[in-house]
A and B are shown apart, each in its own frame.
Chain A
Amino acid sequence: MTKQEAMEALTPIFREVFDDDSIELDDEMTSSDVEGWDSVEHFNLISEIESVFQMRFKMKEVSGMKNVGELAEIVAERGTL
């Protein structure tokens, strides 16, 4: 999967988890750009992504990812649709 494909597939997950249909993902987007993106919702987001893309994040990745771009790169590398 390309990073662009990952971004497209991640968009509906973000919209569902944060209950906001206007969310448009971009590489530089961080938790401070999305209302309600706290540690609890981050966990929900990660769980949802893991279930949709049938993959597991490493602890380092969950804690260390800096923005949506990095998240999409990990999904593109190891996720399957």
Chain B
Amino acid sequence: MVFSSLIFLYLFLPVCLLCYGLSPSLPVKNAVLMLFSLAFYAWGEPTYIILLLISVLMNYLFGLGIGKCQQTKKAGLSKVIMIISMIFNLGLLGVFKYSGFIVENLNLIPGVSLPIPHLTLPIGISFYTFQILSYIIDLYWEEIDVQRNPFHLLLYISMFPQLIAGPIVRYSSIADEIKNRKITIVDISEGLTRLMMGLGKKVILANHLSTIVDDFFGENIQLSVAGTWYAVIVYAMQIYFDFSGYSDMAIGMGRMFGFHFDENFRHPFLCKDISEFWQRWHISLGTFFRDYVLYIPIFGKRRKYGGLFLVWFCTGLWHGASWNYIIWGLYFGTFILIEQLIGKKRIKKIPLVLRHVYNKIVIIVGFGIFYFEDIGRLGSFFRNLVGLNGNALYDNVTELSVRNNLFLLIAAFACCFPLYEGVKMLRNRHASLVKVTNVLQAVWNAALLVVSSILLVDATNNPFLYFRF
């Protein structure tokens, strides 16, 4: 079940909210949310829900073990349990996500011919594995207390707003809210607005942008230089609205249940350099790698560069078991390294226009690497970008597509800017605008729901892209 489906919006969510609202106490609310979350997951993964439950149970036990060792001052044993837990969690991820990729590459060695395993990727495993790891590592570092209630840990992992495509919510950020939270009318209002905003981003913008991308990046299509740039720019916006739309919906629904998740996107295309882009794009993944991988002490004196390399290798690999994702990660790592070597002071002296041109080109070309899993087609994409395939500079198909989709493209471009934050700022400055903006917000939310619902009735293909990670 995806958030942007009629069954979710008109059946699952309202029934869940109703049961949740009617629950008399917090323990009952937690139980309702947990049961609905498990039902939500089982809807899409009736088999692999067992894997999720086993994973939570094992990590609950690992957690108890680490907690016990800390109480009895057995630091060595605590470390052993933490390492076993890491092997268990990363092992599961490795088997289900990367075993086919690893075997395929081993088979390239002369004389090696292993059967390639074809395992289906359990939905959300990349996200929930990282959430569990944050619990175990923070516990090992004594940043948090051990969770003795297995249902609380299960609720944290399985909570449906963030279970299958993030944000990667840290246990430490919601541990207190699992035990004690109040849901105010402001939470419900703001949560609903975020939910509708995310729905609109996904159904109105991302889904329609994707049809343009499919038309241009399909197999055996001759692209002009202009057409290639146009398609990859549209793809960059599609991914942004798809993924940030999902995050908006997750954060919004979390808020409606009384949880405050950290932001996952902060208008990434406004960045002034590549380092800043990654402080604004998929923030929960970036901070995860920053806190748990960047400073890993395995590179000795070269840990500054070793850590950087490892983070960007992992960032790429996390996105998929394919070389193009690894290249994509290292590509960004390279530009961040270059920016580091030049230094912030010198970068700041470069005119802002040039900095924007530079980073937008790098980011947009990066999304091309992200799109093409087939390395041959990726090479062809690069040649198309600069006209090395003997392709024309410009063609009528591109012009026609821009004309036909002009309103969509303008709307998408405008939505890359912080429009909602601007309205909120105006409202906070001028008390007289509060009533008007409140009414407008309600009308806007209703309009987004109606338009999205109409579009969903006709929609045939509507998966969130980040589901496959």
Residues of A within 8 A of B (CB): 19, 36, 38-41, 43-44, 46-47, 56-60, 62-64
A40-B275, A43-B304, A47-B304 given; A64·B295 CB < 8 A: no
Ordered nearest first, which 10 A-B pairs have the shortest CB separation? A63-B291, A60-B141, A62-B295, A39-B290, A59-B295, A19-B345, A40-B275, A47-B304, A64-B143, A40-B340
Q: Given contact pairs A40-B336, A60-B143, enumerate 14 new A-B contacts (beta carbons under 8 Å).
A: A36-B344, A38-B275, A39-B286, A40-B340, A41-B344, A43-B307, A46-B295, A56-B297, A59-B295, A59-B296, A60-B141, A62-B295, A63-B290, A64-B143
Task: Select from chain A the residue with minimum beta-carbon distance to B289.
Answer: A39
Residue B294, interface by CB 8 Å: yes
B99 near A: Cβ within 8 Å? no
- Measured CB to CB, the residues of B under 8 A from A are 141, 143, 275-276, 279, 286-287, 290-292, 294-297, 304, 307, 336, 340, 344-345
Q: Decide if the interface of chain B is mainly helix, strand, loop or mixed.
A: helix
Residue with the greatest number of chain A CB neighbours at <10 A, chosen from B275, B276, B344: B344
Q: How far is the CA of A64 from the CA of B287 in the complex (A)?
A: 12
With a cutoff of 8 Å between Cβ atoms, the chain A residues found around residue B290 in the complex are: 39, 63
List the B side residues contacting A60 at CB < 8 Å.
141, 143
- Shortest Cβ gap from B465 to chain A (Å): 26
Task: Contact check, A63 vs B295: say whether CB atoms are below 8 A apart.
Answer: yes
| Chain A residue, CB-CB nearest to B279 | A38
- Consensus secondary structure, chain A interface: helix
Nearest chain-A residue to B344 (Cβ)?
A: A36
Distance in angstroms from A32 CB to nearest chain B CB is: 13
- B275: chain A residues at CB < 8 Å are 38, 40
A19 to B344, CA, bound (A): 9
**Residue of B with least CB distance to A56:** B297
List, in ascending order, chain A residues with CB within 8 A of B345's CB.
19
**Judging by beta carbons under 8 Å apart, are A59 and B297 in contact?**
yes
Q: State in angstroms the CA–CA spacing of A64 and B139 once bound together.
A: 12
Q: Which residues of B contact A56 (CB under 8 A)?
A: 297
Return the contact of B141 from the options A19, A43, A46, A64 (Cβ within 8 A): A64
Contacts of A59 in B (CB 8 A): 295-297
26 contacts between A and B (CB under 8 A): A19-B344, A19-B345, A36-B344, A38-B276, A38-B279, A39-B287, A39-B294, A40-B275, A40-B340, A43-B294, A43-B304, A43-B307, A44-B304, A44-B340, A57-B295, A58-B297, A59-B295, A59-B296, A60-B141, A60-B143, A63-B141, A63-B290, A63-B292, A63-B295, A64-B141, A64-B143
Nearest A residue to B292 by beta-carbon distance? A63
B104 to chain A, nearest CB (A): 33
Which residues on the A side are within 8 Å of B141 (C-beta)?
A: 60, 63-64
Kindly provide the distance from the CB of A57 to the nearest chain B CB, expressed in whole angstroms: 8
Chain A residues, Cβ within 8 Å of B296: 59
Residues of A within 8 A of B143 (CB): 60, 64
Complex Cα spacing A59 to B287, Å: 14
> How far apart are B16's CB and chain A's nearest CB, in angstroms?
35
A36 and B345 alpha carbons, distance in the complex (Å): 10
Chain B residue with the shortest CB-CB distance to A41: B344
Chain B positions within 8 Å of A41 at CB level: 344
Which chain A residue lies CB-closest to B290?
A39
In the assembled complex, the Cα of A39 lies from the Cα of B283 at a distance in Å of: 12
Of chain B, the residue at the smallest CB distance from A62 is B295
Alpha-carbon separation in the docked complex, A9 to B344 (Å):
23
A39 to B291, CA, bound (A): 9
In the complex formed, the residue of B with least CB distance to A19 is: B345
Report the bound CA distance from A46 to B141 in whole Å.
Answer: 19
Tell me, rounded to whole Å, the shortest Cβ–Cβ distance linking A62 to chain B: 4
Q: Inside 8 A of B292's CB, which chain A residues have their CB?
A: 63
Per the bound structure, the CA–CA distance linking A62 and B275 in Å amounts to: 19
Chain A residues in 8 Å Cβ range of B276 = 38
B residues within 8 A CB of A44? 304, 340
A1 CB to closest chain B CB, in angstroms? 23
**Residue in chain B with minimal CB distance to A60:** B141
